Structure 1
Amino acid sequence: MYVASVRPSERVKGRVPGTVVALGAVSLLTDVSAEMVTAFMPVYLLFTLNMGYAQFGVLDGLYTGATAVLRLVGGHLSDRTHRHKAVAAVGYGLSAVTKLIFPLVGASAFGIGATMAADRAGKGLRTAPRDALISLATPPDRLGAAFGLHRGMDTVGALLGPLMTFLLMYWVGTVAGPVFVVSACFAVVGLIVLVAFVRENPRPATAGPRPSVRAGVALLRERGYRRLAVGSAVLGLATLSDAFVFILVQKATGAPLHLLPLLPLGTALVFLVAAAPVGRLADRIGRWPVFLGGHVLLLGVYVLLLAAGTGYVGVGVALSLHGLFYAATDGVLSARVSAVVPESLRASGLAVVQTGQAVARLVSSVGFGFLLQFAAFGTAVYAAIGSLLVAVVVAWRLNAERRAG
């Protein structure tokens, strides 16, 4: 049985289309796979392979930023061919294959980096087509709710992934093979669900210019879209990767090292609870204000890092704010961008903004890794706080006249 994309005449008031639910299930399974690796990597690279923070920052930057170019490719191909699902499936498949390559590269930093880049390239290829499928199936006034539901289901996977990594480490230690094999199994099942249960509407989008590279670039000439793209990229430059946030929270609070793989669970649990209601809130009061407010919450996380030795209370507060940050930003930005991009260029428009964020976060990870390696802990945290504060002010000024939406 297939879950078909919902045509306008079939949309039921107040409900999220079945396409969104089906894609949420795909993302749930895929995120179990991805978050197993994300939770395992800091322990494996820093404490098993004894890499320095600078090396870790470079690899983490690759993991975060390797999506950049292929986001544009995936967005353009899916708009040009009207085959959003097929392009997304290639991306999901590439990520699944890399999980089986990880154990083969051993302790080689080059091999690990290349495999991480390939894994994230798969994510880059699939993200814009997947978000385009969601936005094209959903009425404009419910985009925040739809992306919130999707990200909430995705977060169930983010909860289960670190938990499975923790259990595997408890049973077999920091052996890489079992983690990556189990991760690959979940990725393959997610790909099967996509192929078997998601069907996109084959009718080409008619609203907007004909898809082309030139038309995609021309979106940046539109003042509102350009400000969204620049504002989100500026904020990305000052956003630490999840891996660094969890490492810093563990160091600042004095939490036991063996709990490090479990810290993503706190963020994911809050994200799961808050994603849908925050998405609905963004539909009502405006998506950009909510997105910007999420980064103010992230600023609170950074400030808490200066309160050393706060123990489990500090861990709980920091992870709660981190989860609310994701609830207010992850799907909300996609909903905001979808509202200003024509249907025919929906994936391309999403890809340009997502690419800007990916490149910015790559720079952030590499730069902060070197800073943490060669500067005092407090100095690095103060730098993160100052950078994010400046970025929030710049993004607010860029979109100061932003109307609700």
Structure 2
Amino acid sequence: MSKKKMMIVSNIFLIGLVSFFMDMSTEMIYPIIPLYLTAVLGATPAIVGVIEGVAESVASLLKVASGYIGDRYQNKKRLAFLGYSASVLYKFVLLIAGSWGGVLAARVIDRTGKGIRTAPRDALVAQSSEKGKLGGSYGLHKMLDMAGSSLGALFAFLFIAFGMKYRSAFLWSVIPGVVAVTIIPLIREEKGAAPNRRRLDFRGLKLDARLKWYFAVLFLFCLGNSSNAFLLLKAQSRGFSTSEVMLLYLIFNVSASILAIPAGRLSDRFGRSRILIPGYLIYGLVYLGFALLTSKASLLILFVAYGAYTAFISGAERALIAEASPADYKGTVLGIYGMLQGFGLLLSSMIAGGMWNVWGPDAPFWFGGVLGIVSALLIAVILRSGKRRKAMSC
């Protein structure tokens, strides 16, 4: 391996390592929070939906701005450092939260950090990747990200299994978060020629028509893609104990981690559509499964399949969007992608919470499953029509 290739791999590995430790930190407590809200603070599933939705909407507003600022001022690493630092602060605020309003404030801080760091971080991965291997690069990053999530979920299970108090778990989660922040200075950012520094009106940003349609379908899909907190509450409603719920979440993370690199590399080799379309179909079938199936064995399989959906979508989709973005605006377009996901999550979490309260715990999964399958069909039309236009122009 040449020195240049080693530098590329090491840079992507360092970015992934930051995500590994931060996701370990976050997932040590994320699956605990909905249980903490409902069992200790007396919140309803609707309130859980409001908390997740409001927090994600704040992140959404910041993703486009941080992506654009990173493109314009070539300061992606600084923005990543600021965003990851906010997620460490989140754990300290959670420690002192004594009501669901306090948890909401903590989650807003955490999602603010995610909103600041996500687009610049994804742009750094694209910048560090070799030509033709972008899916694999995002797959490597996602594998490390989900491996950290898996380890965090394992800690969450151990916290619950050994009866650790919630606030003690929150305190332990600070340690890997601090480690993540200390790695960021080691990451290299290429300082290319900065684009013309236009006002923040995006008049210089021109998106391909196919990408615009893809974003429209993505937003439709996100309306049914509610917070993972509802999956955990659903498992609990099917008779899983709190510690068993933690194990299910661990299984989901392990599944996504194992499949992330192969899925990303397959998208490089066979094309993004051959991975994305099955990925969205898997999501739709998994959500319909959560509505229809009741046995513990079936829910175990569904959590494994949900991990497969996550692996199929994450690398291939970000690679598709980065490749279709104008060269000077990759961070900006990745920010738009994150914004649409966040606004969709805001609405979907509120919709899911309302449906749960009015029609019962199966309703959000019927809704999400149907939208997942419809989205897969629409994405197939968009991506395949794009291939036909490209072939005709050759």
Calculate the TM-score normalised by the size of structure 2.
0.92
- Kept after mapping to 1: 8 A contact 2:220/2:371: no
- Kept after mapping to 1: 8 A contact 2:263/2:315: no
The number of residues matched between the two structures is 389
Q: In the alignment, residue 249 of structure 1 is paired with which amino acid?
A: A
Residues 40 and 213 of structure 1: is their aligned pair in 2 closer, same or farther, counting only changes over 3 Å? Answer: farther
User: C-alpha separation between the residues in 1 aligned to 2:320 and 2:300?
Assistant: 30
Q: Which residue of 2 aligns with 1:281?
A: 266
User: C-alpha separation between the residues in 2 aligned to 1:97 and 1:177?
Assistant: 15
240, 243, 247: which one aligns with 2:226: 240
Which secondary structure does the structure 2 equivalent of 1:38 belong to? coil
Q: Which residue of 2 aligns with 1:304?
A: 289
Q: Which residue of 2 aligns with 1:204?
A: 193
Question: Is 2:106 the counterpart of 1:115?
Answer: yes
Question: Is 2:138 the counterpart of 1:150?
Answer: no
Q: Which residue of 2 aligns with 1:4?
A: none
Which secondary structure does the structure 1 equivalent of 2:385 belong to? coil
Tell me the CA shift for residue 217 of structure 1. Answer: 5.7
Tell me the CA shift for residue 308 of structure 1. Answer: 3.9
314, 322, 335: which one aligns with 1:330: 314
Q: Which residue of 2 aligns with 1:82?
A: 74
Q: Which residue of 2 aligns with 1:176?
A: 166
Q: Which residue of 2 aligns with 1:45?
A: 37
User: C-alpha separation between the residues in 2 aligned to 1:11 and 1:305?
Assistant: 47
Unaligned runs of 5+ in 1: 1-8
User: C-alpha separation between the residues in 2 aligned to 1:82 and 1:131?
Assistant: 14
Question: Is 2:84 the counterpart of 1:100?
Answer: no
Greater displacement, 88-97 / 279-288: 279-288
User: C-alpha separation between the residues in 2 aligned to 1:105 and 1:378?
Assistant: 31
Calculate the TM-score normalised by the size of structure 1.
0.89
Which secondary structure does the structure 2 equivalent of 1:401 belong to? helix
Tell me the CA shift for residue 172 of structure 1. Answer: 4.1
- Kept after mapping to 2: 8 A contact 1:299/1:388: yes
What CA deviation, in whole Å up to 9, does each residue of 1:98-132 have, x standing for no partner? 111111121x2222112101111101100110111
Off by >6 Å, runs of 4+ in structure 1: none
Q: Which residue of 1 aligns with 2:5?
A: 12
Q: In the alignment, residue 351 of structure 1 is paired with which amino acid?
A: G
- Kept after mapping to 2: 8 A contact 1:165/1:261: yes
Q: In the alignment, residue 166 of structure 2 is paired with which amino acid?
A: A
What CA deviation, in whole Å up to 9, does each residue of 1:261-315 have, x standing for no partner? 222211111111110011011112221342232111111212222444312x213
Question: Is 2:17 the counterpart of 1:32?
Answer: no
User: C-alpha separation between the residues in 2 aligned to 1:228 and 1:65?
Assistant: 20
Tell me the CA shift for residue 327 of structure 1. Answer: 0.5
Tell me the CA shift for residue 215 of structure 1. Answer: 6.7
Which secondary structure does the structure 2 equivalent of 1:377 belong to? coil
User: C-alpha separation between the residues in 2 aligned to 1:398 and 1:156?
Assistant: 32
User: C-alpha separation between the residues in 1 aligned to 2:374 and 2:288?
Assistant: 14
Unaligned runs of 5+ in 2: none
Tell me the CA shift for residue 10 of structure 1. Answer: 5.5
User: C-alpha separation between the residues in 2 aligned to 1:12 and 1:299?
Assistant: 38
Question: Is 2:155 the counterpart of 1:164?
Answer: yes
User: C-alpha separation between the residues in 2 aligned to 1:72 and 1:10?
Assistant: 34
User: C-alpha separation between the residues in 1 aligned to 2:199 and 2:209?
Assistant: 19
Tell me the CA shift for residue 236 of structure 1. Answer: 1.4
Question: Is 2:211 the counterpart of 1:225?
Answer: yes
Counterparts of residues 304-383 of structure 1 (less than 5 Å): 304-311=289-296, 313-383=297-367
User: C-alpha separation between the residues in 2 aligned to 1:359 and 1:383?
Assistant: 17
User: C-alpha separation between the residues in 2 aligned to 1:168 and 1:139?
Assistant: 41
- Kept after mapping to 1: 8 A contact 2:284/2:371: no
Residues 213 and 223 of structure 1: is their aligned pair in 2 closer, same or farther, counting only changes over 3 Å? Answer: farther
- Kept after mapping to 2: 8 A contact 1:250/1:315: no
What CA deviation, in whole Å up to 9, does each residue of 1:27-48 have, x standing for no partner? 0000011112211112101222
User: C-alpha separation between the residues in 2 aligned to 1:380 and 1:334?
Assistant: 26
Greater displacement, 162-171 / 216-225: 216-225
